[in-house]
Structure 1
Amino acid sequence: MAVLFSYAQDASLVFTGVLMTVSLLGLLLLGVPVGGTLGMVGLMGLAFTLNNPQLPILADRSWTSINSFTLTAVPAFVLMGTLLVHSGVTVRLFDMLVCWFGRARGGLGHAAIGSSAIFAAVSGSSLATAATLGRVAAPELNSRGYSRRLTYGVVAAGSTLGILVPPSIAMIIYGNTVGAPITVLFVAGVVPGLVLACLFALTILIWSYLSKEAVPEGERYSMGEKFRSTLGVLPFLVLIAAVLGSLYFGIATPTEAGAVGAVAAFAICVAAGRAAPMDIYHALTDTVKVTAFIMLIVVGASIFSWVFDFLRLPRELVSTVTEAELQPWLVMLLLAVFYLLMGTLIESISMMLMTLSVTFPIVVALGFDPIWFGVVLVLLVEIGLITPPVGIVLFILRGLGDVSLRDITLGVIPFILVMLSMLVLLYFFPDIVLWLPEQMEG
């Protein structure tokens, strides 16, 4: 690779850009970790394509990229979600929703979607949501007679709410990368997340009428059982309301809200009797692993994007798109196809950090709102996570249960079509994203 880059010093920008992109994809296909891939390609570009290599800038660039108050929200929210998973509250949450929706047609499916949306509000991760609901909801739906395709389609689709419903780690990364306000991004994701959850529930309802054997009749629960199940998760619901409410009303920054949420999650662990030293040790270890993984990618992406910026590649791409006079809808369609294809191969946060230095200037030059694009981008990369044949969430669910990848794929396709329809809806009606942030500013 170094030999190829040595020939790029006096080459055209197009050749350099293609070389860096091909090198990036080649290393990923070889199994090199994303953070190392980004850093290695950036290092090659820095050493061989610049007339005066500035290698000492690597240390400063690496430190500056993660020395950000905004990014301190990441470990706080990761710790909050990890503690809540260890507390066992996710199981009680699903049981509560089963009580409330159990009698409705497709009630357990609705409960799984509701659990995903609420759990997403604390985990901020689609992969964590898929792994948790795959262990909790999928066996319950199967034991009640739901078809495997519907069961795993619901769990896979519900997991995509993980980085759309705030607080979202991906939105923190996006906002930090492009300079968009994190709190506004969080608020902007609320309405689209709720709309998408409702569309998923509608899909389950339609499925239940088209294939009655796939959705058995639900059980009836007394009002007393419903209220008792609600009391079991009341601290969790209060935590969600406090975190999101403090963000919406501007009482706390995302970092402060995450810190308060982590402390409250620890209190819930104590109350549930899940605060043994080893429980806390495992929660802290998981938090460190996830945070270190994200920060390594941030460092690698900062080096990679700095070389791109120094070579003026984003500026040249913007000029090319502007001079081509392409219609904005066509550019967005091409970007959507690009992200959907990339999403089948690369984890969502990694993909955002790899591409934003190129795609964001194009989107802004076309006049699209950065907040709107943040939500659309999150939705795009989420679809990639469940797109056959190599969506990461599909393999997570395959590893958790005795189910074929074919059944998971057939089950998730209707929900992918719903999400693509949601993208079209957001393009023609951007106020779905922007209305709530405007109310907050007002």
Structure 2
Amino acid sequence: MHTSGAATRRCVVWFGQPDRAEQDALALAGWPVRVADAGSDGVGIRNGDIVVALADLRVDDRGVHEAMERMVAEHPGVPWIALVSPETPAREPTVKRVLRDCIDFFTSPIDTERLQQALARLSGSGRLRGGGPADIAGMVGESRVMHQLRATIRKYAPVDLPVLITGETGTGKEVAASALHRLSARAERPFVPINCGALPPNLVQSELFGHERGAFTGANARRVGHIESASGGTVFLDEIGDLPLDAQTSLLRFLQEGTFERLGSSQPIRADVRVLAATHVDLEKAVAEGRFREDLYYRLNVLRLPMPPLRERGGDVELLAQFFLEQFRQQHRTGQPVSFSASARRAMRAFAWPGNVRELLNRVQRAAVVAEGPLIDTADLDLPAQPAERSVAAGLGEARILAERDAILACLRETRFNISECARRLRISRVTVYRLCKKHRLALDELR
């Protein structure tokens, strides 16, 4: 094995052949590269070293695969990242294992800035030897607003006061509430999320505070409400703006006095519960319109936590997309796809994401199912192509695009719209046939 630069306690062990620009960029970011090639007897990791293994899979090199195998066997705790291409080999058992266990993936030429972000993320998550304190689970992102959000959550968590979490739908308000609970002194007690908008209006009081037997028709037994069941822990009231006015009055009394009454009882019950609330509506406007109690608003708005929309989080969209893809691969034990193409990354950065993180999650999961190769493309995500992609298509000429359309249409007609037979004749998959039909706006039902 040979090294680049002086020995260090923090490094990237690169299995393959990085070029000088890649080594220099990482060295400038404080991550010198040690190159482990086919002749490596070991990687020279010392106790206390902070190490990330990088599998350069752009070239199918059996010797490098053997060096990776030794690394996996001798240092099972070292995290892996992979540099892949559409031709990445995945037949070797060692390569399959590395691809399955990687925490991030990159395409060629390597984006050193994003790699540095991934390494920094690892350092802060406790995944690296010598790493810092654990990050907040689920709060993925390296943008400035996310660093501020995590700092605010850590500041609010130990303070036993109500928190009002605001933000658009899909920004992760329940994730933030759960983090506040986990970082508080109540972490060992229940965390009870309640979607106020989903509660039947005639049962809101019973759901929140419980009822006694015979309190109303159908109340055949005593029922403990959500707030009582969370005693000692945290209640998260999602979509608090949808709470009916009578339930708002009862909740205000509980926040003021720490007691409540079950329906059908006049006996006050004390519950030690921290209340977190969330809303995507303008509560100030709701107060002005008489739809929300002003005194309850001020009781809930002691500490305020605004959640940033995804469109304001810059490169976080790529980090989140890779995070969601890795979750999907682990849950469904699938080897491919492993990352996103350059065009897909451009499309994700340019998209407005009206549904925020929830929409990104849904698109990534769908793309992971329909993608055919190791990289998810723009079409797999069902996102609009960006100008750079459209200019390339224009350069190919209208004639080529029309020829592709004519070819798929002619084959469909010759096979009497038998998708399987058409795919066999064109030597493509059925999914690609459907994708080409969608691309060229060929309505199969109408054509048939």
Q: TM-score, normalised by structure 1?
A: 0.27
Higher relative contact order (CA 8 A, sep 6+): 1
Compare the two structures and name the one with the higher strand fraction: 2
Structure with higher Rg: it is: 2
